[in-house]
Amino acid sequence: MQSNNKKKICIVASSLGKGGAEKSSALLSILLNKEGYDVHIVSVLNIIDYAYAGKLYNLGSMKELNGTLLGRIKKLMLFKKYLRRHDFDCIIDNRSRVQAYREFIITKFIYNVPTIYVVHNYKTSHAFTKYNWLSGYLYKNEFMTAVSMEARDKFKKKFGLNNIHTIYNTFDSEDILKQSKANNEAALAAGKYILFFGRIDDRHKNLKLLISSFKESMLPELQYKLLLLGDGKDLNEMKKHVREQNLEEHVVFKGFVANPFPFIKHARYTVLTSRNEGFPMVIAESLCVGTPVVSVDCKSGPKEIIINKKNGLLIENHNELALVNALNELITNEELYRYCKQNAKQSIDKFSMEAIAKDWVALIEKVK
């Protein structure tokens, strides 16, 4: 329920496009706006793809300040002036914080109001600087929230953090379900398939494990295709790998699709083989449209979403045989498949915007 709270909140994001953390920033602006907050968003980069709510301050659009040390300093000063001018009640920092000098300056000299630092990744090098002592010094007594319990527990211990919480990423189920009903012809034309959707980045997503497991499974023989939606730096390498595995007629690279949800809806199931994640939204989005998931138990997130053999299958990471067996099981075991499918949507109620809004409001009020 919307309150009459008009506290001013500033969400700081790397951008509003291309990534999970960026998408969560955009959704958070919508969520807090619905709760009655006066929401502002500062985007460091000029990438604005996702829908958002509130007032946008696009630092990245100032091209003359990009690419040089002087430009970065001027950008920081403009950022500082913007924060002072608006006198925010709370800042929510959704960026990765990997550059030591920049994070020291921002934490100690730019932010002057209560701040919540969000951790979007389990991998330390993707979330913090390489100096553990500095992370402890900067954030020991700051309010932080991680997007999984595993990440929260890891960084609480690693850096001695006193005020780190867990607030999961959320999703707009109404919008997802609406989008899933569009362009059904394209999805249906793909025939029988299992689906990967996301960034084509083998180092992160471990796509070679997916491709090799698919090859060893029964799926090609049963005329199921592996459909990959997305773009990324390893696209050509993965296409080459598929050719080398003689899988060209069984593996389809669809590329980036603005609306993947019809494809997700009509997939037999989706697959996640990542080496690590923070909170993998692809699992929640798949379950939202009623499609079960086969996922490796990477750190972190999958085991906090998937209930094994209830809404999908959760298997040991980096285990090709286990993945092959899981791929086969959700094809051949029709009773298990139907059970996972019927449980999919309700299994993610705790990640709904309404549920996550309560967590954010409680934390913001605690910070104040």
pLDDT at 18: 78
Q: What is the DSSP string of 39-108?
A: EEEEESSS-B-S---SEEEEGGG-GGGSSSHHHHHHHHHHHHHHHHHHT-SEEEE-S----HHHHHHIII
Residue 172 DSSP class: -
Topology given in CATH for the domain delimited by 173-349? Rossmann fold (3.40.50)
Out of 3.40.1170.10, 3.90.15.10, 3.40.50.2000, 3.40.50.2300, the CATH code matching 8-170+352-367 is: 3.40.50.2000
Average pLDDT over residues 137-152: 96
**Whether pLDDT at 3 is above 90:** no
Domain residue limits, the chain: 8-170+352-367, 173-349
| Cβ count near 3 (within 10 Å) | 11
Contact call for residues 44 and 15 (beta carbons, < 8 A) = yes
Q: Which two tokens stand for residue 148?
A: 């999984």
pLDDT at 2: 45
pLDDT at 31: 95
Q: Which two tokens stand for residue 292?
A: 């079960």
**One fold for 8-170+352-367 and 173-349:** yes
Per-residue pLDDT reduced to its tens digit, 65-111? 666 778 788 889 999 999 999 999 999 999 999 999 999 999 999 99
pLDDT at 253: 95
Cα 193 from Cα 271, distance rounded (Å)? 11
Average pLDDT over residues 7-25: 91
pLDDT at 189: 66
CA dist 365 to 7, 362, 368, Å?
10, 5, 5
- Closest of 262, 256, 252 to residue 183, by C-alpha: 262
Q: How many CA atoms lie within 13 A of 58 on its CB side?
A: 13
Q: Which band of pLDDT confidence, cut at 50, 70 and 90, is reported for residue 1?
A: very low
Q: What value does the mean pLDDT of the chain take?
A: 93
Per-residue pLDDT reduced to its tens digit, 272-328? 999 999 999 999 999 999 999 999 999 999 999 999 999 999 999 999 999 999 999
CA dist 147 to 11, 24, 117, 277, 346, Å?
16, 10, 11, 10, 20
Q: How far apart are the first and last CA of the chain?
A: 20
Contact call for residues 122 and 151 (beta carbons, < 8 A) = yes
